[in-house]
Amino acid sequence: MNVAGFIFLLSLHLGVFQIGYGRNASTQPAVVNIGAMFNFDSIIGRVAKIAIDEALKDVNSNSSILKGTKLSVTLQDTNCNGFLGMVEALRYMATDVVAIIGPQCSVVAPIISHVASELRVPLLSFAATDPTLSSLQFPFFVRTAQNDLYQMTAVADIIDHYGWKEVIAIFIDDDWGRNGVSALNDKLAERRCKISYKVGIQPDSSVTQGAIMDVLVKVALMQSRILVLHLNRRAGFKVFSVANHLGMMGNGYVWIATDWLSLVLDSESPLPSETMDKIQGVLTLRQHTPDSDGKRAFFARWNRITGGSPQLNAYGLYAYDTVWLLAHSLDAFFNQGGVISFSNDSRISSMAGSALHLEAMSIFDDGVLLLKNILLSDFVGLTGPLKFNSDRSLILPAYDIINVLGTGIRQIGYWSNYSGLSTVSPETLYTRPPNRSSANQKLYSVIWPGETLSKPRGWVFPNNGKLLRIGVPNRVSYKEFVSQVRGTDMFKGFCIDVFTAAVNLLPYAVPYKSISFGDGRKNPSYTELVNKITTGEFDAVVGDIAIVTNRTRIVDFTQPYVSSGLVIVARLEKERSGAWAFLQPFSRRMWIVTGSFFLIVGIVVWILEHRINDEFRGPPKQQVITILWFSFSTMFFAHRENTMSTLGRLVLLVWLFVVLIINSSYTASLTSILTVEHLSSSIKGIQSLAATNEPIGYQEGSFAERYLSEELNISRSRLVSLGSPEAYALALKRGPGNGGVAAVVDERPYVELFLSSQCSFKIVGQEFTKSGWGFAFPRDSPLAIDMSTAILALAENGDLQRIHDKWLMQSTCSLESTEIETNQLNLSSFWGLFLICGVACIIALFIYFLQILQQLPPAPESASITGQDSSHSRRLRRFLSLMDEKEEQSRSGQKRRKVDNERDDEFGS
């Protein structure tokens, strides 16, 4: 009995277990509860409520999805309030919902996401675009609309496209506004742009126009005229209203609004004319949704349902697609055996009995599986492909770029993360390879504020009462370039006059004050002076500032107004002509090539004359002597041999012309060497100077010290700092043996001014660096660009040269060249003549050999029985013997051979 009872109970237990297991595995609930939370009384909320209802109707009436299970959505109004949002989320968790659509506001999303993550309920938001809602921090938060990170990338690309460098950001001072502006700043920094000023506005609706006016008055005093508005509807239109009152919607201003403005324009169009008048010329962005038959059909259906009020916008389309996304995910969830079941959290169960009734909340057991299916979704909705990338953002983000114009809007292009800015739709670009080159970034023309087509400059000189702080070096030498007027804060000199003239050409006033840099006892360090810009002590540096690599890394320079570069100055000594002075006119290569051509021409003429001219015949020794004598006698036009052949005379004529030019050049150069006083230096250039161990002078405060030591690896112990032109002259006269220097390395403008009064020194070698002088400004300063344009205008109208002549034309030395150049004549000056002579020789020999080949008698037929090699050797011997024979003997020999051949033929027959 006991055994039978045990078997019966075991069978009953197994049967009940199997029945329960089968019900859990195969039973699909008739209704799945879904929550939705957003602000009903908002542009997005009013549209989203209708869109969600229509999506539910479409899903529940579609027999191909969920297969009998209906979706039921419970709506809750959070009014974009964090506290209410948390309360409503907790209420949802007590009703066994499997997912929540929402929240609408980014400030509510983090709070609810914490609850959703703990209870494993996916949170699908079609409107929370805050870029900091990270998938790592909030694993159950899924954004079904575009991330604001991409919108800020689009704004940064627009700013970079038009060449602006600084912007002002006005934002709602909450998490959404601050995080959006932070993302914009990061994207601008990637393009070497920046937010020069940012200001937040209260997030609630109680912000007054007075507060906004205080903000815009400060903005109007700033330098930048590019304003980015990341606001909500109420604050945004208040800003535009106050900006119109302050005259900030006219020429020169650029207003870029994020997609809050396009949302209003799409949802409430047409806006009142007085409202449209306040936003003329504004640029705004709109989340791009591709055109499709389904989208057009839904728009028509929407108008039938609502009568056009409210109007459908992009967020309504995303809300509609979110319901379908959840339906597809649940369908896959059930197909994989997912079960809608909940269990109590042991951490919450311990709080049972409290007035909050937290024990009613439960964990969605298969929430992870549903989340996985949501993230693996891949279908095409009204907004395009609904598919997520690795960071849980929708793939292929894109925006429409809109220009507010007249009573409506005008689309000027698109932005996509695939190819950047374009006038071609993103769907077309997706079929092509990605191309983000600057030439491919295009937008249609924009009607800017003030009804102008001209692109605004984007900045003005700030009218905030601050003077531009300009650092000026207080030099103690070469004061012609820049110097401080004794007893005043004023400066004078060539560089100061150039700066003043350039400022006067600017289309706006630039108030500034000059600040002396240096102790007045020695020249200051120019590298330290330029570094003051990066620390904010100076707003610009004006003076004889060399544009060198290490400085361009930290500041921006204007267009160079003086060409510069390092040169070497050395003392010169009189050069005495020696016993071999007659060899100096030509370089070694010139002597070798000239001698070679004498021999070549002699040999060519001998070949051309040997058969017909008795003077070129005789024993071998005599012929060699004839070639040598004829060759070198042509140098003096004293050759006694007559040329008889036409080809020989042609070659000789060309060669005599070459000899005439060479003789004339040699004579002139030798005369100059022997009769004109020449100065020379043992230093020929920077290589020979660096190879010695002699001391080298440089100007105090110049970058020459760093260049010589770091770039040329010259020991600093060899470098001597010199503070004035007088110190230059004294050190050079003493020389390295008497406590002086072998040479001075300095920039060309200083050296030219030094040599204008010091005639015993010269520039040796070539300029071994290339640079210039410019005015220094902070990185990406727009003033640097405008000053460059002004400097170019000074150069074109001649004012720059007149300023130069005023300060720097003080020469007391002769007008001879200040650079030492060799008096030797090089091959490069005569290679054309040698080329003509060589071509003439080759052509003459070619024609001559053709004539000889025509005179060769044909080989007898009997020769065919011999080998081919012996035939070629006999033909070569006949060719050489024919060249050596005199022309009359050759002709008689040909006749005899012809008769002998005829006799042989008769005998053979």
DSSP 772-802: EE--EE-TT-HHHHHHHHHHHHHHHHTHHHH
Instruction: Give the pLDDT score at 782.
Output: 85
R_g of the chain computed on alpha carbons: 47
Task: Provide the token pair at 238.
Answer: 């208040």
**SS3 (DSSP) at 111:** helix
What integer is the mean pLDDT of 330-346?
87
Query: Residue 108: which pLDDT band, with cuts at 50, 70 and 90?
Result: confident
Least Cα distance to 430 among 441, 443, 417 occurs for 417
More confident residue, 572 or 546: 546
pLDDT digits (tens, 9 = 90+) for 885-904: 666 555 555 555 554 555 55
The yes-or-no verdict on residue 747 having pLDDT over 70 is yes
- CA 33 – CA 340 distance, rounded (Å): 10
CATH architecture observed for domain 31-145+293-386:
3-Layer(aba) Sandwich (3.40)
Q: What angle do CA 477, 479, 485 make, to 5 degrees?
A: 120
Instruction: Give the pLDDT score at 261.
Output: 95
Check: CB of residue 171 under 8 Å from CB of residue 152.
no
Provide the residue type at 390 as one letter: S
Q: What angle do CA 379, 380, 384 make, to 5 degrees?
A: 135
- CA 283 – CA 410 distance, rounded (Å): 10
Looking at 13-17, 304-308, 475-479, which range is the least confident one?
13-17
Domain limits, the chain: 31-145+293-386, 148-290+397-440, 468-564+773-808, 581-675, 680-770
Query: What percent of the chain shows pLDDT beyond 70?
Result: 83
State the number of CA atoms in the 13 A half-sphere of 106 facing the CB: 24
Query: What percent of the chain shows pLDDT beyond 90?
Result: 46
Provide the residue type at 243 as one letter: A
The CATH number of 680-770 is 3.40.190.10
- CA 325 – CA 383 distance, rounded (Å): 12
Task: Provide the token pair at 461.
Answer: 């000189």
Task: Provide the token pair at 45.
Answer: 């909320």
Query: Residue 416: which pLDDT band, with cuts at 50, 70 and 90?
Result: very high
Instruction: Give the pLDDT score at 4.
Output: 39
- The domain over range 468-564+773-808 is classified in CATH as 1.10.1200.10: no
The yes-or-no verdict on residue 18 having pLDDT over 60 is no
Partnered with residue 199 across adjacent β-strands are: 170
Please report, to the nearest 10 degrees, the dihedral formed by the alpha carbons of residues 501, 505, 506, 507 taken in order: 150
User: Residue length, the chain?
Assistant: 909
- CA 574 – CA 265 distance, rounded (Å): 87
Instruction: Give the pLDDT score at 242.
Output: 95
Check: CB of residue 642 under 8 Å from CB of residue 613.
yes
Query: Residue 38: which pLDDT band, with cuts at 50, 70 and 90?
Result: confident
- CA 221 – CA 211 distance, rounded (Å): 16
- C-alpha distance across the termini of the chain, in Å: 144
Least Cα distance to 547 among 705, 767, 776 occurs for 776
The yes-or-no verdict on residue 241 having pLDDT over 50 is yes
Instruction: Give the pLDDT score at 817.
Output: 44
Q: Which residues fall within 8 angstroms of residue 585, CB to CB, at 6 or more apart?
A: 665, 666, 669, 670, 673, 823, 824, 825
Looking at 108-112, 368-372, 374-378, 789-793, which range is the least confident one?
108-112
More confident residue, 14 or 238: 238
- CA 556 – CA 774 distance, rounded (Å): 9
What integer is the mean pLDDT of 838-850?
84
Instruction: Give the pLDDT score at 857.
Output: 63
More confident residue, 400 or 604: 400
Check: CB of residue 571 under 8 Å from CB of residue 735.
yes
Check: CB of residue 543 under 8 Å from CB of residue 481.
yes
The yes-or-no verdict on residue 19 having pLDDT over 70 is no
Looking at 31-35, 249-253, 554-558, 603-607, which range is the least confident one?
603-607
The yes-or-no verdict on residue 169 having pLDDT over 80 is yes
Task: Please count the other Cβ atoms lying within 10 Å of the Cβ belonging to residue 855.
Answer: 16
Least Cα distance to 695 among 725, 717, 728 occurs for 717
Question: For the chain, give me the number of helices (H) and strands (E)?
Answer: 30, 33
Query: Residue 881: which pLDDT band, with cuts at 50, 70 and 90?
Result: low
The yes-or-no verdict on residue 206 having pLDDT over 90 is no
Mean pLDDT of the chain: 83
226-230 vs 254-257, strand pairing mode = parallel
pLDDT digits (tens, 9 = 90+) for 477-534: 999 999 999 888 899 999 999 999 999 998 888 889 999 998 888 889 999 999 999 9
Partnered with residue 73 across adjacent β-strands are: 34
The yes-or-no verdict on residue 48 having pLDDT over 70 is yes
Check: CB of residue 106 under 8 Å from CB of residue 177.
no
pLDDT digits (tens, 9 = 90+) for 247-260: 999 999 999 999 99
- CA 782 – CA 572 distance, rounded (Å): 48
Max avg pLDDT among 666-680, 686-700, 808-822: 686-700
Instruction: Give the pLDDT score at 5.
Output: 39
Domain 148-290+397-440, what fold?
Rossmann fold (3.40.50)
Residue that the structure tokens 């990637």 belong to:
190
- CA 23 – CA 92 distance, rounded (Å): 26
